[in-house]
Chains A and B, each alone.
Chain A
Amino acid sequence: MTNPEENIVLTEAVFYTLLALHKPLHGYGIMQETKTMSNGRLILSAGTLYGAISSMLEKGWIKALPEEEDSRRKEYVITDTGKQVARSELNRLHELAENGDRIINNSQIQ
């Protein structure tokens, strides 16, 4: 299992998938949720999402919920490790945004 304290830089697809999986969702649900959250900007492709889900399952960041008998669709949900990973990514993004804001916005004023 990955140590969430490590300096991991997540891809946009992985970060949004982790956000979406704060509630249980199946593959198509993740795609729709991501599209809604990003106001239609980020449209995850099925191939990318499949790769991201397989990798996150291996790392233990998300888990598959037991399948319902009448459904072929698998649902996934974030794990505690996944939540820690998402939080450390959020901190990294805050740092990026703060530094960007300080330097880019200040240079525009001058």
Chain B
Amino acid sequence: MTKTVRKIFFLWEYEKEEAWMLVHTGFRKYEFEKGTPGAYTYRLELLEKDTHAPESKSYLDFLQETGIEIVGECLNWVYLRCKTADCKFDPGTRPLYKLTHLLKIQDFFNTIRLIFIIAIALCIVGIFILEHPQPTPVIDFFKGFCVGISLAASVIMLLAAPYFHHINKKVKAAIKDLYTCS
């Protein structure tokens, strides 16, 4: 018997999502099968390239060789799981692992932030260009569209700001840890 659950996690909430999946069992686009809670450990990993790129494929093949299952994909993120009793995931406590993981996330966030900034800038330019003495319904529509997009992008960036700050702080802490432990 399967149960489908719809739940939204923002990009920066990957740790919450991991924990949520650990409590629930089974995975397939949040489609759950009844199983033993905690039998599987889930890990969300961010790949440098999308999952179909040769580099990602060779990495994912390697993971599968060691008994890790790929249960889902979303852009550059892969959803992995392995049996908790024979877990092949890094506990995530080693500074080197933490740092590489965080740097990949920081890089991903920076790219997204850049896309949002470009979108806002283009929309603002659009609003000025569309300033016309005799507005027509088409011009009004595009102007409204630009205003909407730039407002939405600004709100999302404001909402995400604390998380960007949080990741930056974590990166700094992981770099400090590297001085004492490998």
Contact = CB atoms under 8 A, between A and B. Distances in A.
Interface of A: 11-12, 26-28, 31, 45-51, 53, 72-73
B21 interface: no
B65 A73 contact: yes
Contacts of A48: 90, 94, 97
Interface in B127-182: 182
B61 interface: yes
A72 B60 CA distance: 12
Contacts of B94: 48
B102 to A, nearest CB: 14
A45 B80 CA distance: 13
Contacts of B45: 47
Best-surrounded residue of A27, A47, A48 (most CB of chain B within 10 A): A47
Given A11-B96, A51-B100, A46 B182 contact: no
Interface string B68-93: 10000000000000000000111100
Interface string B90-125: 110010110010000000000000000000000000
B97 A50 contact: no
19 contacts: A11-B96, A12-B182, A26-B65, A27-B62, A27-B65, A28-B67, A31-B66, A31-B88, A45-B91, A45-B97, A47-B63, A47-B90, A48-B94, A48-B97, A50-B63, A53-B62, A72-B61, A72-B65, A73-B65
Interface centre among B65, B67, B68 (most CB of A within 10 A): B65
A98 B89 CA distance: 34
Contacts of A26: 65
The 4 closest A-B pairs by CB, nearest first: A45-B90, A46-B66, A46-B88, A28-B66
Interface string B2-36: 00000000000000000000000000000000000
B92 to A, nearest CB: 9
A51 B68 CA distance: 16
A47 B97 contact: yes
A72 B62 CA distance: 10
Interface string B36-67: 00000000010000000000000101110111
Contacts of A27: 62, 65-66
A28 B65 contact: yes
A100 B130 CA distance: 75
Interface centre among A11, A49, A50, A53 (most CB of B within 10 A): A50
